[in-house]
Structure 1
Amino acid sequence: MREQTIRDSVIFMLLVAIGVAGRWGQPDWCITPIAATSLLAGYWFGRSSIAALVPLSTMLISDAALDGYQNFGVMLAVYAAMAAPVLLGRWLRRGEGARWAAKLAASSLLPATLFFLVSNLAVWAWSAQPYYEKTLAGLVQCYAMAAPFYGRMLAGDMAFTALLFGAMLVAAGDTAKQRAAA
C-alpha cells in the first residue's frame, strides 16, 4: 500500500510537471500536454477527485507565469474544458485490445474539440472588449479566428496522448491493466 501511494504521488507530480513545462514552453502555439496528462490521470488514479487535481494544479501553477484571462467566466470555461478529459480517462478504464485503442484515439480527439467550442463561446459571450459582435455572425467570426489554434491543439493532443500512454504502457506494464480493472 505504501509503495502504491509513493508511486501515485510521483506520477501525480510528474503529470503536473509535464503539463506545466509544456504550457510554459510554448503557450502561443496551443500545443500542450494538458489534455494528455488529464486523460492519463483519469485513467491511472482510482479517485476522480485526485485525477481532476492534475489539470487544475497544472493550470493554477502555469497561470502564475502566463498572461491572465479576460475575465472570470472565460477562466472558468478554460479550466472546465481542461479538466474534462479526466472523464474520458475514466471511460478508458473499461475495455481492452482494439476496442481500447479505438477509445484512446477518440479520447485524444475530443478534448481539443471541446476546448475549442467551450473557450471560444466563452470569449464571444463574456469578452470585456468588443472583439466580436454579440450576434451569430460575431460568434462565427470568433470560431473562424480560432480555427488555426484548434488544428494545432488537436495535433498536440493526439501526439502527447500517444507519447504519454505509450510510455505508461511500457513503464507500468501489468500495473496499468490492473488500474483499469480496479
Structure 2
Amino acid sequence: MKNSINLRFGLLVGIVLLAAGSRFLAVLSPSMSNFSPVGTMALFGGAYFTKKYWAFAVPMLALWLSNLVLNNVFYKQWYPTFSFGFETAVFISFALVVAVGIVFLKKVNLTNLLLANLLGTLVFFIVSNFFVWTGGTMYPQTTEGLVSCYTMALPFLKNTLVSNLLFSAIMFGAFEYATANNKALQLQ
C-alpha cells in the first residue's frame, strides 16, 4: 500500500516537473507568450494530489524553480524590471487555479476538465491583469485604464487557453492512461 502511494506521488511530481521543464521551449519562440503548461500544472495538482497541501506545494515549487531559471538565465535582458509585485500576482493567480482544480476536478472527466480549464484560464487572466493594472505604470488608475489593460491582454488570453487545453490533454491523458494500466497507481 505504502509503495503504491509513493509510486503515485512520484509519478504526479514527475509529470509536474516535466511540465515545468517544458516551459523552456517557449524561450525558443518569443511569439509564444503565455503558451506554457503553468495553468495545467495548477489544475493537475488540484485534481490528483490527495493531500491538498501537496496540490499547492508541488506545482508552486515547480513554478518558482522554473521562474528562477527563466528570469535569471533567459529573460535577464528581456525583462530587466521584473517586479516582485507581478511575481506575487502570478503566484496568487496560480494558487486560485489550483483551487479551481480541487473544486471542479474531484471527478476527472472531459466535461469537468473543459470547465476547469475555462474557469482557470479566466481566473488567471482576471487576477493577474488586475495586478498589472494596480501595480504598474503602463495603464492609468482609471476605469478606462483597467479596460485598456484587459483589452491589451486579450491575445495572451488566447494563448493561455489553447496551451491549457493542449497540456491538459497531454498531462491528464498520460496520468489517466498510466493509472488505468497500473493498479498500483490507483487510489484504494
Fold-level similarity (TM above 0.5): yes
Q: Which runs of 5+ in 2 are unaligned?
A: 72-78
Equivalent residues in 2 for 1:33-72, closer than 5 Å: 33-67=37-71, 70-72=82-84
Cα RMSD, aligned residues only: 2.5
d(CA) in 1 for partners of 2:186 and 2:104?
Answer: 13
d(CA) in 1 for partners of 2:41 and 2:11?
Answer: 10
d(CA) in 1 for partners of 2:184 and 2:152?
Answer: 40
What amino acid maps onto 2:26 in structure 1? Q
Query: Which residue among 145, 168, 174 is the counterpart of 1:161?
Result: 168
User: How many percent identity over aligned positions?
Assistant: 28
Mapped contact 1:8–1:45 kept (Cα < 8 A): no
Mapped contact 1:109–1:154 kept (Cα < 8 A): yes
Deviation at 1:136, TM superposition (A): 0.9
Distance 1:64 1:145, change over 3 A: same
Q: Taking structure 2 as the reference length, what is the TM-score of the superposition?
A: 0.80
d(CA) in 1 for partners of 2:166 and 2:25?
Answer: 16
Mapped contact 1:36–1:161 kept (Cα < 8 A): yes
Deviation at 1:36, TM superposition (A): 1.5
d(CA) in 1 for partners of 2:185 and 2:97?
Answer: 19
Deviations 1:29-52 (A, max 9, x none): 211112222222222211110111
Deviation at 1:170, TM superposition (A): 1.1
Distance 1:103 1:114, change over 3 A: same
Distance 1:35 1:21, change over 3 A: same
d(CA) in 2 for partners of 1:177 and 1:94?
Answer: 17
d(CA) in 2 for partners of 1:125 and 1:176?
Answer: 48
- Worse overlay, 22-31 or 168-177: 168-177
Distance 1:93 1:116, change over 3 A: closer
Deviations 1:31-81 (A, max 9, x none): 111222222222221111011112211221011123367433322220121
d(CA) in 2 for partners of 1:177 and 1:89?
Answer: 20
Q: Which SS does the other structure have where 2:153 is aligned?
A: helix
Distance 1:92 1:11, change over 3 A: farther
What amino acid maps onto 1:145 in structure 2? M
Distance 1:76 1:31, change over 3 A: same
Counterpart in the other structure of 1:138: 145
d(CA) in 2 for partners of 1:114 and 1:168?
Answer: 25
Deviation at 1:92, TM superposition (A): 4.5
Pairing 1:88–2:100 present:
yes
Deviation at 1:163, TM superposition (A): 1.6
Deviation at 1:90, TM superposition (A): 2.3
Pairing 1:111–2:134 present:
no
Query: Which residue among 147, 150, 156 is the counterpart of 2:157?
Result: 150
What amino acid maps onto 2:96 in structure 1? A
Q: Which SS does the other structure have where 2:140 is aligned?
A: coil
Aligned length: 175
